């Protein structure tokens, strides 16, 4: 099994330079007061395609030999990774096939199509989507770009955490921890590589919805376990099981795994809108929810928080705001 390293994260940063944004690191004193710690918010919701996924997808696609991507790109995604691969394909002038769940948010489906991706719907689980994606690869000869369990994707996602740590250091702040939302685990694994490889080595804290806690259960069991799907507003964070590579990396580096309630996630979305003036989707607000609920381990005084995406339909955002009024 090929596992990426800290050096791969550094190389990925150079490979994707100029193709993704250096997103801002924000301070919001009112949120600090609510959390009881200093928070450094990494606004990946302002990244290209509105999510951190642009980093991993771009690194993975650019890592492919030109011959390997000539027949197109194929991926399976709940939404944001599909948009990221579609963006990469458009910039490189190749076809993109994206397999999405039957219940994918319309705003994410529309974005994939606007970027030129051909969408196919398949079931509701990652396994459903992967099966159909492999069939498309067999039929078209397209290169498969997995959403999270891939060395190049992991390295690309790690650039968000490396950037966060360096931006905080430039302000004279040494972070005690980085809070990372977990779905399939690509961002988490990349964060672990970046944090453990940096001289300041902040702890990595994994955050999941209570309704989709595949990583926490695996972390406690010390092996990957599958969980039953339950409804959650965090549509980007509900895999049945975390990726094999991701768990191999994260299980040895993560300090603690925390879960947050649906209401806590909704309140974090509201707080970001009104206090930080940011539109962040529920999946993207998950890590902040842990801080606002004061669920962090003792000793954490300064925490980086990755706000992973902002692709939320206006109607969904309105409903969350109304429900938390």
Same structural domain for residues 59 and 77? Answer: yes
What is the SS3 assignment for 102?
coil
pLDDT tens-digit profile, the chain (325 residues): 899 999 999 999 999 999 999 999 999 999 999 999 999 999 999 999 999 999 999 999 999 998 888 899 999 988 899 999 999 999 999 999 999 999 888 888 999 999 999 999 999 888 899 999 999 999 999 999 999 899 999 999 999 999 999 999 999 999 999 999 999 999 999 999 999 999 999 999 999 999 999 999 999 999 999 999 889 999 989 888 999 999 999 999 999 999 999 999 999 999 999 999 999 999 999 999 999 999 999 999 999 999 999 999 999 999 999 999 8
State the total domains in the chain. Answer: 2
Backbone angles phi, psi at 37, to 5 degrees: -140, 160
- Asked whether residue 33 falls in the same domain as residue 98, the answer is no
Q: Do 103 and 168 lie in a common domain?
A: no
Residue 47 placed within a domain: yes
Q: Assess if residue 133 is contained within a domain.
A: yes
Asked if residue 78 belongs to a domain, the reply is yes
Looking at residue 269, what is its pLDDT? 98
Q: Note whether 12 and 91 are same-domain residues.
A: no
Question: Which of 56-68 are b and which e, b meaning 16 or more Cβ less than 10 Å from the residue's Cβ?
Answer: bbbbbbbbbeeee
Say if CB 214 and CB 227 are below 8 A apart: yes
Task: Tell me: do 98 and 166 sit in the same domain.
Answer: no
Residue in this structure with the two tokens 């580096």, named with its chain if needed: 253
Q: How many CB atoms lie within 10 A of CB 29?
A: 10
Domain closes at, from 144, 160, 186: 144
Q: Does residue 186 share a domain with residue 87? A: no
Largest pairwise CA distance in the chain:
55
- For residue 314, the domain's CATH number is 3.40.50.1100
Please tell me whether residues 34 and 66 are part of one structural domain: no
Residues 166 and 101 in one domain: no
In angstroms, the Cα distances linking 4 to 34, 117, 148, 188 are 37, 28, 13, 13
Q: Which of 144, 160, 188 is the last residue of a domain?
A: 144
Task: Flag whether 1 is in a domain.
Answer: no
Structural domain of residue 138, as residue ranges? 54-144
Using an 8 Å Cβ cutoff, are 94 and 70 in contact? Answer: yes
**Which pLDDT belongs to residue 173?**
98
In the prediction, which pLDDT does 164 show? 99
Q: Is 130 contained in some domain?
A: yes
- The whole-model pTM stands at 0.94
Are 203 and 307 in a shared domain? yes
User: Per the structure block, which two tokens stand in for 54?
Assistant: 């642009």
Asked if residue 13 is part of any domain, the answer here is yes
d(CA 56, CA 206): 19
Are residues 226 and 192 part of one domain?
yes
Q: What is the spatial distance between Cα 161 and Cα 178, in angstroms, rounded to a whole number?
A: 8
Is 70 a member of any domain? yes
String of DSSP letters for 210-257? TT--HHHHHHHHTS---------S-TTS--SS--HHHHHHHTTT--EE
Residue at a domain's end among 144, 164, 179? 144
Indicate left, alpha or beta for 34 from its phi (over 0: left) and psi (-120 to 50: alpha): alpha
Same domain, 288 and 319: yes
> Are 158 and 222 in the same domain?
yes
Residue 310 lies in a domain: yes
Q: CA–CA separation, 284 vs 235, rounded Å?
A: 10
Whole-angstrom distance, CA of residue 119 vs CA of residue 76: 10
């Amino acid at each position: 099994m090929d596992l990426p390293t800290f050096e791969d994260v550094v190389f990925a940063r150079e490979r994707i330079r100029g193709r993704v944004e250096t997103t801002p690191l924000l301070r919001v004193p009112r949120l600090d007061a609510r959390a009881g710690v200093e928070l450094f918010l990494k606004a990946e919701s302002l990244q290209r395609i509105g999510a951190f996924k642009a980093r991993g997808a771009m690194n993975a696609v650019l890592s492919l030999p030109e011959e390997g991507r000539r027949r197109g790109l194929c991926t399976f995604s709940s939404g944001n990774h599909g948009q990221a691969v579609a963006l990469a394909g458009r910039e490189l002038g190749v076809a993109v096939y994206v397999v999405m769940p039957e219940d994918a948010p319309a705003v994410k489906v529309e974005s994939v199509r606007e970027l030129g991706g051909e969408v196919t719907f398949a079931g509701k689980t990652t396994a459903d989507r992967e099966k159909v994606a492999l069939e498309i690869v067999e039929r078209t000869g397209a290169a498969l770009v997995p959403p999270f369990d891939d060395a190049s994707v992991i390295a690309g996602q790690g650039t968000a955490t490396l950037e966060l740590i360096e931006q905080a250091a430039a302000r004279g702040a040494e972070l005690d921890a980085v809070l990372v939302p977990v779905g399939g685990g690509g961002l988490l694994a990349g964060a672990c590589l970046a944090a453990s490889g940096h001289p300041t080595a902040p702890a990595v804290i994994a955050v999941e919805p209570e309704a989709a806690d595949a990583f926490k259960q695996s972390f406690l069991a010390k092996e990957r376990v599958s969980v039953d799907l339950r409804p959650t507003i965090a549509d980007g964070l509900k895999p049945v099981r975390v990726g094999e590579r991701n768990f191999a990396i994260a299980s040895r580096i993560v300090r603690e795994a925390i879960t947050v309630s649906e209401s806590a996630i909704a309140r974090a979305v509201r707080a970001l809108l009104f206090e930080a003036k940011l539109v962040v989707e529920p999946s993207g607000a998950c890590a902040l929810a842990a801080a606002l609920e004061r669920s962090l381990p003792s000793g954490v005084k300064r925490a980086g928080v990755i706000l992973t995406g902002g692709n939320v339909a206006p109607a969904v955002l309105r409903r969350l705001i109304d429900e938390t009024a």
